[in-house]
Structure 1
């Protein structure tokens, strides 16, 4: 099983260490169970403040025979040595899978623990199925596997997911099944840890099975056209609405490419331009900057250099216009992620 890169220190607390073990085990499970991915994976690492405050390890693919883009990222940041910060540690698994076959759905899964120095802790659990060519059976299988994990919270988790992944400018959701629990916790850390593990394992198992049945299917040019349109929609949602992505680039600039690893390999610039008229005025310059950062090609490739430029655009926009953050996606609870990382 993988570990954090050499030079990266790890959290000192039992809670932080347990969360790190959890996300590393889920990262390994993704690697082992996703069909035909082993030969396509490469390892990328980054250090927070040269490793003094942790770092991360990303297992990723790029335009291989079966995956358009796949990123299985573990990060662990802590401030054990800094009394000026109220955050003890933040540990996360962030996964996005974009299969190359347009009949196979994409997946997003995020599981993270925030542990504060005053002893408070809370989890963020997300899982959503994102097809470019929807197949009802895939949605039914996904819901049947994830719903039992959420127990009495399932209706709330689905409602929060549908709220978070709605795209107002396009009057549509990003995917077909969304689960989202923000600031989740009980008074029993071990019980919550087990809940997070059960949630992650259910998502991995059901999605791997769906891919097994769809990743080798024959597809048409029309299916590919729908995939490009959907990948453009995904790009638009992540870079203009996703609060997690925005918080990541606002907290630091030491993992810009990794944070942007969720983006698909190609998008349609003209389609992006057509959506500007439906955005709030303050957000239109953001979309314009994102479009300008893309190569002038059709479809426009989104490589690592472009990812780095896109992160700069997002960071510059919200630094100059913090009031625009109110247009970011949210559920009932909006975590103070950026503030947590700042000195008191």
Structure 2
């Protein structure tokens, strides 16, 4: 009897022990999972902070960011942060690429400025270089209240804002490069991000573009330029290039002259599709396409021969550039309407020298007339429309 009791007691205790193991196992597993997930999240947080610190290296930029670094690190997923870091990187990379084409002593003057109403900018200007007569690359990160003229300008573009005073944020990079040699074209690019708060809703959109203004037409250059931009567009949507190329031809039109400013490129505004991150990636690709679209043209023509006649034609065409920027350009008008705007930076796009002649007409069949024909009738440089017709 005692033997049977002992055996039964042993079995009971074994069962209880097994049950406790089974009961405790899910709890232990659950605790381990929580600890593991917490550790993974902490590790990812540390990695993100390390990556952000690597991104925000002052040596990578022309000057210190406009927004305090601590705020950028804290708000690394905010589009305002992402855009500020993008435009600062693009500014630095482009300035350094231009300096490589210049003599050793020709460097950008870096002017970091603040705006008392909120934000500031970094203006980089190189003047009187051997290759570049004037090169300006500006970034601005500003915020505040939109003044009525700026609100009205946006309403004319279909923005249906209700409030009269609208808090806004704007960040953008803008550059205009005026070379010394008339055989080297001028390039302009601008990429920007806007946020406007109307009541409790935040409206956001991107805008920008890159365009080329030659003084003497080189068809190979135009094809290379447009092909590079098309490749950037095609990474995101095969319809973008054709649509934004036409928009560019229409936008950079000097209506009182009946001619375009140059051979075009791409231009877009009010892009809030398909979603914020996708739109940002598209803008990033376009901005990164500037150097490969332009620097090869500088290297190709910087030492080409020219004389007094070509220089005078270059100055006349720069006069047209001034007319467009002061009369039609949206960015210039927005800047001039913004309280506390920095006019030196806004007018940075103007050339160092320009010229106007009364009733000037190029001679028939001259290289100058060849350019004018293209400025009056934009060309499909990549035969996109012909390819469309063939496929249909």
TM-score when scaled to structure 1? 0.72
Instruction: After TM superposition, list the pairs within 5 Å mapping 1:1-344 onto structure 2.
Output: 1-2=60-61, 14-34=78-98, 35-37=100-102, 39-49=106-116, 53-79=118-144, 86-117=166-197, 118-151=201-234, 152-271=239-358
| 3-state SS of 1:192 partner | helix
- Structure 1 residues 194-203 or 99-108, which shifts more? 194-203
The 1:200/1:173 distance shift into structure 2, 3 A limit, reads: same
CA RMSD after TM alignment: 2.4
For residues 5-60 of structure 1, the C-alpha deviation after alignment (integer angstroms, 9 at most, x for no partner) is: 587658876111100011011111102222424733111122111xx611000111
Separation of aligned partners in 2, 1:7 and 1:243: 24
1:86: Cα distance to partner? 3.3
Post-superposition Cα deviations, 1:299-333, rounded to whole Å, max 9, x if no partner, equal xxxxxxxxxxxxxxxxxxxxxxxxxxxxxxxxxxx
- On the 8 A contact 1:8/1:53 being kept in 2, the answer is no
1:64 Cα deviation from its structure 2 partner:
1.7
Flag structure 2 segments of 5+ consecutive residues without an equivalent: 1-59, 146-162, 361-392
Cα deviation for residue 127 of structure 1 reads 0.7
Contact 2:316 2:356 in 1 (8 A): no
Whole-angstrom CA distance in 2 between matches of 1:145 and 1:68: 25
Using CA pairs below 8 Å that are at least 6 residues apart, which structure has the higher relative contact order?
Answer: 1
Q: Against the structure 1 CA distance between its residues 253 and 267, is the aligned structure 2 distance closer, same or farther, given a 3 Å change threshold?
A: farther
Q: Alignment partner of 1:123: what SS? A: strand
Say whether the 8 Å CA contact 2:190–2:208 is kept in structure 1.
Answer: yes
Aligned residues: 269
Which piece of structure 1 moves more, 217-226 or 134-143?
A: 217-226
- Compute the displacement of 1:95 (Å): 0.6
CA contact (8 A) 1:165 1:178 kept: no
- Give, in angstroms, the shift of residue 241 of structure 1: 1.5
Structure 1's consecutive aligned runs of 4 or more residues displaced over 4 angstroms after TM superposition are: 3-13
Question: CA shift at 1:247, angstroms?
Answer: 1.4
Q: Structure 2 CA distance, aligned partners of 1:42 and 1:101?
A: 22
User: Normalized against structure 2, the TM-score is what?
Assistant: 0.64
State the alpha-carbon separation in 2 of the partners of residues 142 and 236 from structure 1: 24
